[in-house]
Amino acid sequence: METRLIMEKVNPAGYSGMLELEKAQSAAGIDPILKELIKIRASQLNGCAFCLNMHTKDARKNGETEQRIYALSAWREAPFFTEKERAVLALTEAVTLISEEGLPDDVYQEVRKQFNEIETAELIMAVVTINGWNRIAVATRKMPPID
């Protein structure tokens, strides 16, 4: 496969807007490992090789284990994730696949048991942001570097 276009060169204003959105997420108080779990899980669902490559590396740098990264696509069956992480992973899946059934009340309520309103808003924005990046990378066929 070949890259279709390089978004940052062809549409620098739009790309810059995405970078600002990412910057706002970096300032949010979400735990770095939790943030990477969101990014990896959304990228798995969206089939984004570029983002999977980037965020699995970033997760490792932040102290995430290989075991949990490998099991992330089966998080419901794996015993390695906390209740807090499970709530966020369910939220990530629901928002990523929002056209299927919206954000179900039970998923939202579980997140709210674990996080306050501001944290919940930050989590939703983190999911929205990685979904934007995934869509840019998949649509343009952005390729991960070969190490």
Asked, for residue 2, whether it belongs to a domain, the answer is no
What own/partner pairs with CB < 8 Å and gap ≥ 24 does 21-28 have?
21/125, 21/129, 21/132, 22/129, 22/133, 24/125, 25/122, 25/125, 25/126, 25/129, 28/122, 28/125, 28/126
pTM: 0.95
Range of the domain at 25: 10-140
Alpha-carbon 75 to chain mean position: 15
Asked, for residue 20, whether it belongs to a domain, the answer is yes
Element (H, E) at 112: helix 105-114
Asked, for residue 3, whether it belongs to a domain, the answer is no
Query: Is residue 27 packed enough to be buried (19+ CB in 10 Å), middle (13-18) or exposed (0-12)?
Result: exposed
Q: What is the CATH number of the domain that holds 99?
A: 1.20.1290.10
What is the pLDDT, as a whole number, of residue 111? 98
Asked, for residue 5, whether it belongs to a domain, the answer is no
Instruction: State the total domains in the chain.
Output: 1
- Report the alpha-carbon distance of residue 134 to residue 100 in Å, rounded: 18
Asked, for residue 147, whether it belongs to a domain, the answer is no
Asked, for residue 146, whether it belongs to a domain, the answer is no
Asked, for residue 119, whether it belongs to a domain, the answer is yes
**Averaged pLDDT, groups of 10, the chain, 147 residues long:** 93 96 87 97 98 98 97 97 98 98 98 97 97 98 91
